[in-house]
Structure formats: structure tokens, C-alpha cells
A and B are shown apart, each in its own frame.
Chain A
Amino acid sequence: MARPRRIRAAMALIATTTLLLASACKSDEAPAEAELFKNPVTLTWWHNASDAGPGKDYWQKVANDFHGLHPTVTVEIEAIETNQLQRTRIPAALLSNDPPDIFQAWGGGEIIDQVKADYLKDITEATKTEVANIGSATGIWQVEGRQYGLPFRMGIEGFWYNKKLFTQAGITAPPTTLDELKTAVTKLKAANVIPISVGAGDKWPAAHYWYNFALRACSIATLKSAALTLKFDDPCFVKAGQDLQAFIGVQPFQPNFIATVAQQGAGSSAGLVATGKAAMELMGDWNLGVMQTLAGDNWKTMRPDIDWFPFPAIAGAPGDPKASLGGGDGFACSKKAPAECVEFLKYIVSPAVQKGYAEINVGLPVAKGAEAGVSDPTLRTILKATNEASYTQLWLDTAYGSTVGSAMNDAIIAIFAGTGKPDQVVSAMKAAAQK
């Protein structure tokens, strides 16, 4: 009696497996090389501006405008929350035979992997003008000298600070060296203010301290080769951890920082600055928008006090003091996307569209000719600093890819928690590279 049942089950198993295989091996037809804008095409576009707001509205407008210019092209947008988009949706879609045509690309280690798997369209020839106009930031979306994506947003990070609290604590100018920063911390503590808030609960905001110390401790050549080879034998990486440990020793952060999140609620690290409880936060250019949301009605009174200064130099450190840590967002076209995809990508990074992007205040534009769209004085400072940086190192967890990046951040968090040591960060990164 058990036998027929087992046979049926086995048959069902075989049937479903065949079904799965059949759907996975759908015929591999190459897109007909049609002339541009002759045949109607539909571009699917996945971006991460999933929250209702100016960002999402603007991308819709860009898609509509492009359709207006080229009526044969229809753009279908899917806006997906960024973690979901990056961690599951895009990888799964790329594994399938039906990826979106144009989608969010974070550059760095991730794009290297995607290019190796032959997922992305080589856009080197088609985008020469755009690459020249955007400049060195496009390097993040290059693999072995070929271009696979273009950024639409880019910015370096630095300290957002409260001028009023600085004055009250007797600090006359923003710190330019690490020693001055430490002195400022001491003065702010004496004035009963939280010197620096850090969203260590989310890991990456804390890890960025280590990245900045590494940027100061390591030469640019070392950083560049580490991103390519994932070898971290240079002692400067241990030095970064030691510098971080020494800095944490000054106790510059809010109590319970290990579980403080970065961006949600008044108790978050951005919230502490936005409500005037903390004097500084190390964060990217997007922090202005985050603080504005968190401060709510009080933003009008808070805004004049908020300003920005770059991560200070470290006396005697071998790293370039004008080098900055930063990152951006870009888009890439999948391998089989129609040629119109590249045209749409070029349209997104064109100066006019970039200027409109700058005007909605969700991020700094990358294209030359879009600067006029940035009206906020602090954002203009950051834009200037971004353009003047001698070298912009991409966020290390993006540059080294998710696997090494994740292990690195976890080990840095252990230093913040007081359980980890500087050399353990390096050993964790080395181990992860083999995982």
C-alpha cells in the first residue's frame, strides 16, 4: 500500500522539477539589434526611492519626460526598499532570465562580481561624453577600464555639527586636525553636551570611523590595490583600528551608543543632532534631509545652527589629508537590455535632469552643469569639497563587496563594544575573503 504512494510522490517530484528546469531554461534569444527609437520598447526600471516623496516623484517625472521625447520607449518603474532591492531582488532577478533593464547599481565590489558573471551591458563607447562630464566618480562603476554604470548622486562625508553648541562650549572654529577634534570633545563634555552621536546600532555609521582612520593611515595606492586584490596585509589597516580604539577612549559618544540606530526617531544619532542634544555626527550628504524629517516643526529654528566640516587630518599620518571617503548611487543596464536603455541612462545623468535632481534636495548631483540646482548653502559646501577632494575612496564595505564588508563592519563594531581588537578586524576581513 505504501508503494504506489511513494511512486506518485516521486512522479510529482519529477514533474515539478522538470517544470522548474523548463522555466529556468527558457530559450536564450538575443535581442534583435533594432535601430534606435524605431521599434516600441518597454524598459523596466528598478530604483530604491521607495518612500513616497520628492525622490520617487522625480524619477516618475524623468520616465514620463523620456517617453515624451521618445514615444517608442515606455518606462515601467518598480520602486523597492533599498536593502530588499540590493540583497534579494536584484541578485535573484539577475540569476533568472528576466532581469530589469535598468536598475540601481552601488558600484565597487558588487559591480565587479556582476561583470564577472556577464550580467551587465558594457557602455564604455556609448557614454564617453557623460563619463567625461561627470569625472573621476565614474571610476566606481568601472571594471578593468570598462564602464558598466553611471552615478546620479555622489557625495563625501564629514561632520555635521551644531554651531550654537560649539560656541557655547567655547569652540571658535571647526576642528581641522584629530587633536583639535579631541579638544573639542573635551570642551563639549565640560559644557554638558553629547560631543558626537553615532548610530552604531546600524553598524555602518560606526564602521565609517574606521574607514576614515584607514584613509588617513594608508596610502592611496594601498587602498586601491586592497579593493582589487582583497589582500589586507599592509600594517596601516591595523593602525586604523588602533587610532579608532584611541579615539573611542576619549569617550566622545552618547551613552548606549552600541544600540543607537542612525536614522529612526528622535533618539537616533541623527535625531540627537537634529534636536540639539548632540553636537556632531559623522555622516554623508543625505543627513540634512534625514535631520529635517526627524526635527519636524523645530527644523526652522534648528537649521541655521547646522553646518558641516570634513573629517580632520591626522598629524604625521601617511594618508592624503585631502582624500575623502564617499559614495554614491548609480544605475546600470543589464546585458540583454535594448539599446534604448543606455540612452535612458545617459538622459538620467544629463545636466538638465541632474539639475532637476539637485533641486529636490535628496542628494548631490554628479554632472557638471547641475551645480546651480543645489541651493542649500551647506550642501554647496559639501559639493565643493566633493569636487575638490584629491581622491574619493568609496565606502569600504561597498568597495570590498558585501562579504568582506560585512565581516569588517562586524569586527569594527566589536571594537566599539570593547570586545574586539584592531588586528581582529584585519583577520576577519582576510577570513571573509576566503569564505
Chain B
Amino acid sequence: MSASDLPEQAPSAPGWRHFEHRADMGVEGAGRSPAEAFAQAAVALTAIVCDPAAVQPRVALDVACDEPDLELLLVDWLNALIYRMATERMLFSRFDVRIDDGRLRATIRGESVERERHRPAVEVKGATYTALSVTHDASGLWTARCVVDV
């Protein structure tokens, strides 16, 4: 049995990264607040599909999710983004997120998929409850993570 696919060390600064999952992909965002961690996790989600730096923030859309459990709210948020990516045929790179008492309100910015320029690698099917956590460390750094199905 291999011990692969285990999450690496906890993040020490705001940002995003992917973590290992044998069949799918883990997304992780870190920030000084749950809202910032969620925004970073959203960048990690886009990075599964393409280079976020290649996505111009031309068009703004509003996203709203209401869910008192912060972990379930993360899944709702990522699924709302997946839904917008699929139905608007868009990719997103800027996420301004506010979370207040289980109410998430966000403005997301991006542009229509251009296959030649974005070179999208894979579409995301849905965010899962696997390896799902929203936590913070002693320094107040929040980390939001889960596995997404691709």
C-alpha cells in the first residue's frame, strides 16, 4: 500500500495550491479570513482548468450562497462557480468574496472560454465533501480545502 495522496504541510501564507488525490484533484485556499481563503480556493479551482493568469477579468457576475455550516458553504461556493463556468461557458480569475453569518456574496470576474488562448485541460464536474475542511491556525490564517471531481 502506498502512502501517497496525503495532504502536504499546512500553508503558512495566503495563497492557493492543489493537493494530491489519486483520481481527482484537491483545491486549497489560504487567507486572513474565511472570505479570502474561499477566494483563493476559487483561483485553485480555475487553475485545474487553465492558467488563471491567462483569464482576463472582463465580465463581472454576482454569486450568492446561504449556508450556516462554513464547510458546506465552501462546497456550495465552489459548486456555484462550477455551475457558472458550465452554463456561461466562462472562466474566472478574480473573486471578491464577503462572508457574513452564513451569507456569502461575491463578485466574480472573468471571460468566455477561448480554446486557443486558454487551452482548457479538463472540466470540473463538482466539488465533493472528501478531504473537506475550513480551519484556522494560531496566527489567524484560514485554510479552505476539498477534493473536486474532474
Q: Do A and B come from one complex?
A: no
Interface residues of B (CB under 8 A from A): none
Interface residues of A (CB under 8 A from B): none
